[in-house]
Each structure stands twice: as C-alpha cells, then as structure tokens.
Structure 1
C-alpha cells in the first residue's frame, strides 16, 4: 500500500472525525483520558472544568478549547455549550463527567447542606448538561450522543458514601427518561459506570480507609485486582473508561440508548468467592 493509502486508512479508522464534543471534568482523570482519545479520533474537544491551569494546558495540547465551568451553576454549563457553538457551530457529543466524592459517615449524622452541595454537582450538573446539550442538538437537527458518568455504586450497595450513591443512582434514571424523550430527535443518552479505577477520588478513599497516606495508584490497582475484579490481577484504568465513552459517542453505538455500560471487571455481576466449585 502506498503512503497515501496508508494515510487514508489511518484517517478512516478514526471514529469521531469532525465531531464536536464537550467534556465536563475534562482536565484530569477519566475526563482527560477521554479528551485525548476523542482528539486522536478526529474530534474537536471543549474541556469544561474548574481546574483552569490543567484544563487550559490539556486543551492546548490536543488542539481544543478550555472553558471554566462549575457544573452546579447552570449558566456555566450553558456557556460551555455556547463555546462549542461559537467555535464550530455545532455540538455532537456531550460527556457529563464532572463529579465529587463527598463525605462519608453514618446516615444518622449526615449534614443535609453537604449532601445538597454534592447533589448540586453530581446530579444537577448532569441535568444542566443534558438540558443545554439537547437544546443545541435539537436546534442543530443533526442528532447527537450524550454520555453521563454514573458508578458501580449505583448498582451495588456499600461501594461509596450515601450521598454519592444517591446521586449516581439518580443519574441512571435520568438517562433512561431523557433517552425516551430525545430519541425522536436522533439524540442518544447513555451512562457509563466505572469501578476500581485509581482516580484521585478512589486513592483518597483507600488512604483514609487503610490509614496509609503514602498509598500509590499502583497499590490501589493491586488491591482492586485481587479483591474487586473477576479478572485476576487486573484493575480498571482511565483508558478503559475512555474507550467505553468513545464507543458510546461513536456511530458504532448508533442503536444504543438508555443503556448503562458497566466497566468493572465483572465485579458487580458475579461473586467469585465460591469459584472453587469450578475446579476439577
């Protein structure tokens, strides 16, 4: 194959050529990995975050745009969508990824103002993203893909704080109901539910639980690979989740909506404690 043929093949393998995507919480972690992967696949990416220095640096690196965005504020999210429209005249993909862990502790001691603050970000931030992305997509009349970050905590109890669990469970219902409404406009709404990915959130939780402030990402990966995955020795990665988001954003998932794609090494699907029965 000649050089032009190789180049054409490489370009054709990209799954988001010309698509315009907004990613909230895109400055680091899962959001940053997804922003890079989207850009590698031909998308124009707007990173919306409150981490200005990290976000602007990443946007510059991938040839995208950065906008300061506190998702708990509807105006900020609306402006992030407007950034896409001003830049490229359209929005094709909205990845509602921003979220916080919140405080743990007994339900009997929960401070409601702290719970409301978490819900403002984790749940209402998603509402803001779906609302304004859908408005722009409907007006543009070209359909689109909206992906929302939920969690394994929405599927199995005991994996996160009460407030976090509440917010992530609610996201699943919101995605299903909005998928029902928006499908007529060619807009697909789906969720991802990661588990065991060594994010700052998970590492911080393990450090507190184990009383070890020096715990590193590779230490958390080892723990997850041994106890939190059916795939022995394997934890999740930012790239694993980014690949799942890429799939849901692309035309490869063109007939998938109202779905929750769980990225958990099978942890929430089965218990391996009695796997001895399969031996012999």
Structure 2
C-alpha cells in the first residue's frame, strides 16, 4: 500500500512506533526512524534491513525544534523526499486528581505529546510544501481524546490538543494536497497500560471496557496508520480513526 513511499516515524524505537515502522517498511516504504534511545533505534533499523527493507535512524528529541528539523531534513536527504509521516512519539505518566498534579509533570507531558507533534507537523509540512507533491501525516492520539477517565492526569488534555492540531492542519493545507489525520487507540497490549504488570483484577476491568474482549495490538494500530497514509484514504483528512475494540460504542 506504500510502495515507493518515503516515511518518517517519530518514537519508532519500541511499542506502537517500532511495530508501525516495521509494517510501513513491509508495505513498501523506506523509513526514517527517530527516537531518544540510539540502541533501540539502530535495532529497529536492523530488523527492517533483515526483512529486506531500507531504513535510517536519527537520534533526537521531538520537543527540540532543531532536532525535529534535522530528523525531517536527514530523512529527505537520504531518500530524496518525504511522502508520509507518523507522529507517534509520546509519553504517559502516573495519573492523579487535578488538584494534586504538579506543574513539572504538566511541562514534561505537553513538551513531548503536544509540542512534539506541533514541531513534527511544522517541519514535515514545510518539506511537503517545498516538494510541491502533497503528503500525508498521521498523528498518534488516544481514545482519551474523546472519552476520558477520571484520574488520568495530564494525558487526556495532551491528546485533546493533538486532535485540535490535526483538524487545524488538515483545513489549512488541504488545498496543497496534504492530508492530516489521527489514529486513536484503545488500550494496546504493548502500550503503557497493557504491557505493565498491573493487578489481574485491574487488567480484567480494562479488558471488559473493550467489547471485543481483548486489548488491541500494536499491529492493529500499524494497519490503521498505513491505511490513513495510503492512497486508499485519499478522501480522508481531519479525521480521527478510533481503533478501540468497541470501547467508544458502549
């Protein structure tokens, strides 16, 4: 579905990002992978190359504009252009009630989850405009951008912001052939909640919130991202594709 495309995946060193980078390569794209952890990033590249694909790792922090500009620039320089991007880099933190939360945690989460998406889109869109060939961006949101859970801390607010930036960019650059969408996963087995050694009773409670009776997988998210990047989704922009096993239909 992405044959011949050039892709960029932020936060591609583990979990959803790594699985999606591998899936994008299997779908026929060459992939620039970014992240703060060099060892994991180079391992992702090795996995792609072992499967016959081509990839590049660029170490950096999406909250730093110079790093983001370099990530986009090095991907385009290595592969000749940029066609699609998955802005996946993000962090979670322990939840809490609003009156008990601290400002330092707020700064950390908004710097990565919101500033990082803003900066990534800014420089990806600039690259698309320079090329004049359009492009497609998928931002990693969450069902907590739509229906939140009390005590979730700053996380839902960051994902609401991601949805807002997604819609705004989609409107602003549609005329230039640039599509911008989001993917909103439920609880993912390899993610922050699903992968943690939580008490079985809590795990069951979380699973029961998903009518399909299981957590999602990183591959479920990857498949959705690839669809939104592909020409199969050429009339979709400004949308958030919910990948939640029926969570929001309850």
- TM class by smaller structure: over 0.9
Q: Which residue of 1 aligns with 2:73?
A: 82
Q: Does 1:35 align with 2:39?
A: no
Q: Which has the greater radius of gyration?
A: 1
Kindly indicate whether the alpha-carbon contact (under 8 Å) linking 2:129 and 2:176 is maintained by their aligned counterparts in 1. yes
Q: Which residue of 1 aligns with 2:64?
A: 73
TM-fit CA distance, 1:234: 2.8
User: Structure 1 residues 54, 66: closer, same or farther in 2, change over 3 A?
Assistant: same
Q: Which residue of 2 aligns with 1:156?
A: 147
Q: Which residue of 2 aligns with 1:250?
A: 230
* Matched residue SS, 2:148: coil
Q: Which residue of 1 aligns with 2:51?
A: none
TM normalised by structure 1 equals 0.83
Q: Which residue of 1 aligns with 2:159?
A: 168
1:83-162 matches, cutoff 5 A: 83-158=74-149, 161-162=152-153
**In 2, Cα distance between equivalents of 1:147 and 1:200:** 18
Kindly indicate whether the alpha-carbon contact (under 8 Å) linking 1:152 and 1:159 is maintained by their aligned counterparts in 2. no
TM normalised by structure 2 equals 0.93
TM-fit CA distance, 1:160: 6.4
* Matched residue SS, 1:268: helix
Number of aligned residues: 245
Kindly indicate whether the alpha-carbon contact (under 8 Å) linking 1:23 and 1:47 is maintained by their aligned counterparts in 2. yes
TM-fit CA distance, 1:159: 6.6
1:3-82 matches, cutoff 5 A: 15-62=1-48, 63-82=54-73
Aligned Cα RMSD in Å? 1.8
* Matched residue SS, 1:162: coil
Question: Hey, which bits of structure 1, 4+ residues long, moved more than 3 A?
Answer: 203-206, 222-225
**In 2, Cα distance between equivalents of 1:99 and 1:148:** 10
* Matched residue SS, 2:159: helix
Q: Which residue of 2 aligns with 1:263?
A: 243
Q: Does 1:189 align with 2:189?
A: no
Kindly indicate whether the alpha-carbon contact (under 8 Å) linking 1:30 and 1:241 is maintained by their aligned counterparts in 2. yes
Kindly indicate whether the alpha-carbon contact (under 8 Å) linking 2:62 and 2:68 is maintained by their aligned counterparts in 1. yes
Unaligned runs of 5+ in 2: 49-53
TM-fit CA distance, 1:84: 1.2
